[in-house]
Amino acid sequence: MNASTLSAPRAWARPWLGYDERSALLFVLPFATVLFAVAVFPIVYSFYISLYSLRLTRPNRVPFVWFDNYANVLSDPQFWAAVERTVTFSVMAVVATAVLGLLIALLLNEEFPGRRVLSALLLIPWAIPSVANGLMWKWIYDSNYGALNGALFQLGFIDSYMVWLGDADKTLALIANAFVWKEVPLAAILLLVGLKAIPADLYAAAKVDGADALRRFFHVTLPALGPTFALVIVYETMIAIRHFDLFFLLTEGGPGDASHVVAWRIYVETFRNLSFGTGAAMSYILALATLALSYVVIRALGRRL
């Protein structure tokens, strides 16, 4: 036994963490506790619930059903019809948001009088609370006293008031329009930031090479905007797929089942039918689908994101 062995503290007596680590842990602990209570625990618990046939109105019969809730949801044709509507809505909403956002960003990237005022005005729809936005569009679309009918009638485009949200063929497009109106400002601002970050010498070099404005847009602007564009697409897709507010406020899933999207079905199953097991299973399916889709979009559009 040498001296160094004798002087070293025994392994069990050595503190597991040093003073600095323990201090850091102490500071992080309150936040970590809150985070665990409000985020981690609910997520884990909702998964646990999704494995039970839990219906609040049947409190004495809550069997463990493994993945039956998931199987039932995935084998329900109504669910797949809702998925189809969700995809239709999301494609309309995201494409329109991205295209309009890009056009507005390109406009605001140019120097012209009133550009700053226009930029400020652009943010108004985004700043309006979602519920207020929904109620506003409900008034606009109303078939009896709505502003849309009033304007079209007075401008002579229609002879009599038309049915808007009550027409199953138009419902999703009209809701998507209300969604786009609110979401375009954010997309435009994000894309504008992306445009500002493109180095000017890239455009100068393209000009020297004889590229006209259209070529510069397709060969310089769009590739350089890739990561920002991917961010906008991913963010808006995630918002659109899970969107609920407008469906609740404008149509309550109707007319018929024309606006029964997945988020609406989750609401009905969970909060109307009080079937928490099925509702949790649907929520997990939606969350996983959103995650997968986001991953695919990021891979496809913006490897540098």
Among positions 95, 100, 168, 198, the unique one binding another protein when judged by CB under 8 A: 168
Vertex 91, ends 87 and 96: CA angle to 5°?
155
Provide the CA 65 distance to its chain's centre, in angstroms.
Answer: 31
The reply on whether position 150 binds another protein by CB under 8 A is no
The reply on whether position 268 binds another protein by CB under 8 A is yes
Provide the CA 93 distance to its chain's centre, in angstroms.
Answer: 11
**Subset of residues 60 to 119 that bind another protein, contact rule: CB under 8 A:** 60
Nearest approach in angstroms of CB 142 to another protein is: 8
Given the complex with another protein, which of 2 and 57 has the nearer CB atom?
57
Q: Write 55-61 long-range contacts (CB < 8 A, 24+).
A: 55/273, 55/274, 55/275, 55/276, 55/277, 56/274, 56/275, 56/276, 57/274
Among positions 29, 56, 123, 135, the unique one binding another protein when judged by CB under 8 A: 56
Nearest approach in angstroms of CB 148 to another protein is: 13
Q: How many CB atoms lie within 10 A of CB 277?
A: 23
Sequence-ordered strand ranges (E) for 161-290: none
The reply on whether position 147 binds another protein by CB under 8 A is no
Q: Choose the stretch contacting another protein; rule: CB under 8 A; options: 83-91, 108-116, 264-272, 284-292.
A: 264-272
Nearest approach in angstroms of CB 47 to another protein is: 20
d(CA 281, CA 283): 5
Identify residue 202 by its one-letter amino acid code: L
Nearest approach in angstroms of CB 52 to another protein is: 14
The reply on whether position 134 binds another protein by CB under 8 A is no
Give residue 66's region: left, alpha or beta (phi > 0; psi -120 to 50): left
The reply on whether position 57 binds another protein by CB under 8 A is yes
Contact call for residues 210 and 219 (beta carbons, < 8 A) = no
Given the complex with another protein, which of 56 and 222 has the nearer CB atom?
56
Given the complex with another protein, which of 15 and 59 has the nearer CB atom?
59
Residues near another protein, by CB under 8 A: 56-60, 142-144, 160, 163, 165-168, 251-257, 260, 268, 271-274
